[in-house]
A and B are shown apart, each in its own frame.
Chain A
């Protein structure tokens, strides 16, 4: 599947396109098929996202998982600071990245 990610213009937070708006959680990301360029152009022009781009991902029973480790780290947070990730209470969250 192809999903969209970028950063919030004001805060810089990593966001994912959920079909309607930009979510902080990669599990909300939806397959945009062939519409990536259209959505990206529209959303960046409206400043609802910054520096956005399309990536490959897979969806399985654990949810949406970006294909590349860099985007998995973006989705979770730094593996060396679990307290600063989106799942600070889950000590095994970093396993998902690797």
Chain B
């Protein structure tokens, strides 16, 4: 894992004291809320429905045990005993007091964490593959490149006031587990025929009210130029992105309106100019970072077999664990989606337990997934049964990864001031309704957003749900056919919306159409793509 150097720590510590002073001045009345708001947002502090909400950055979703433990402690000490893991691999606390904000940031800084750039029109937390460093199919570990982006983008003076927020993702395998093409910039680290490492750039994707899939504008940027290329992409956006209309201010609108070819031409022109300025960080810095992401000391010759005689354990292994690059090891996902639970929520006690388990069984390391779960990336197979027993005993052993109960849901109207409808109760009802059938249904990615901003990724769900406000009453639109994987696609609305109970019935009917028409090993998405919308509409509205 990356360790702060003296510069990192000094910057974060200075920011803590700066914000502590800004809070003091606000509480004493020396600055107004209008003056204070952009300052608190730059430190991840929102004012939400019930209280202040603090969003803490978890770079590329990677955490040490000590960091995870601190997140649990903050939940208990400053909040109401829980935290909410988000679709940007971050964590949010919903009940923060302004007067505590400085102390919380200081506690975070003590474990090399912060809340910088988790809001505002700047480059946000860079996300990545939750199995990075463990996946058998990756070209390289993408996290050193994500870390270099973090360093380049943090406090970048030119990109602190962009037309709108800016989200980047970095992966290094053909299987996309990070919704890479639905980001402002998605980067896939690739290897060319000569064996050289480079970066494929996908620019102009996003969800929100105008969902778009990012086109590839350059399939291979040499790795010793990829920060310069990122700078060129941002610079063209910063220059020409629309600032007159916030709904048209994301880079996806610029790329769409200019056209991919013209946007690319301008980026390449800027790139050529920037190359002459020699702004790329020295390769030695990248090598320094890469050294911190070296493999942990895996045990050579560790047994590769699992005792699957306990059927509940075997089911959990089949659903929640994936092949590791190192024989004898496995990557295990801890589902934060118990049947009827709140997606992504974990108590302080559960957070600390996961920290302890990572220390004991996963080389001190955890990952937050964009699907709001937690991964222990490096578990020895010989330890897996013991680990599972502890998880199971503490409500963390739900075997539903990528099944219909593994629902992504934004906080919705229960917490969010932007939301139009509640997301969580719908997720809870669907989870309960279909829990007995989810193994039969198989892979089905269901995503719920409480408003058009799409924090719940509804456009990219095999089944997506969008909550809207119809004359003061919650209403839910159903979408089918989205995907955030390498076969990225955007869901299509089925027709008129439903009320809260009606949307649960509608989802169940959609699964019934799938099961009735499924051929072979088809997933829900495969069947939908083969038979199209008509049979689903017939079942829903016929």
Contact = CB atoms under 8 A, between A and B. Distances in A.
Given A47-B29, A78-B415, A84 B51 contact: no
B508 interface: no
Interface residues of B, number: 29
Contacts of B47: 7, 12, 50-51
B507 interface: no
A79 B425 contact: yes
Contact of A77 (B50, B99, B419, B472): B50
B51 A12 contact: yes
A69 B51 contact: no
A69 B413 contact: yes
Contacts of A68: 472
Given A67-B472, A78-B414, A80-B428, A10 B99 contact: yes
B184 to A, nearest CB: 29
Interface in B1-58: 26-27, 29, 33, 47, 49-52
B403 to A, nearest CB: 21
A62 interface: no
Given A73-B413, A79-B422, A80-B425, A13 B49 contact: no
A12 B428 contact: no
Interface in B402-451: 413-415, 417, 419, 422, 424-425, 428
B342 interface: yes
A74 B49 contact: yes
Contact of B51 (A11, A67, A80, A81): A11
A13 B48 CA distance: 10
Contacts of B472: 67-69
Q: Is the interface of B mostly helix, strand, loop or mixed?
A: mixed
A87 B184 CA distance: 43
B474 A10 contact: no
Contacts, number: 68
B100 to A, nearest CB: 9
Contacts of B96: 12
A9 interface: yes
Contacts of A11: 51, 97-99
Given A10-B97, A73-B413, A80-B428, A50 B33 contact: yes
A68 B469 CA distance: 10
Interface in B313-349: 342
A86 B95 CA distance: 14
A80 B414 contact: yes
A1 interface: no
A68 B96 CA distance: 25
A69 B467 CA distance: 13
Interface in A6-22: 7, 9-14
Given A10-B27, A73-B413, A78 B50 contact: yes
A68 B419 CA distance: 13
A78 B96 CA distance: 15
Contacts of A50: 33, 47
Q: Nearest 8 A-B pairs (CB), nearest first?
A: A12-B51, A78-B414, A12-B52, A80-B424, A11-B97, A10-B99, A74-B49, A80-B414
Given A9-B26, A14-B50, A70-B419, 16 more contacts: A9-B98, A12-B47, A12-B96, A12-B98, A13-B51, A14-B51, A47-B29, A70-B413, A70-B417, A73-B413, A77-B50, A78-B414, A80-B422, A80-B424, A81-B414, A84-B95
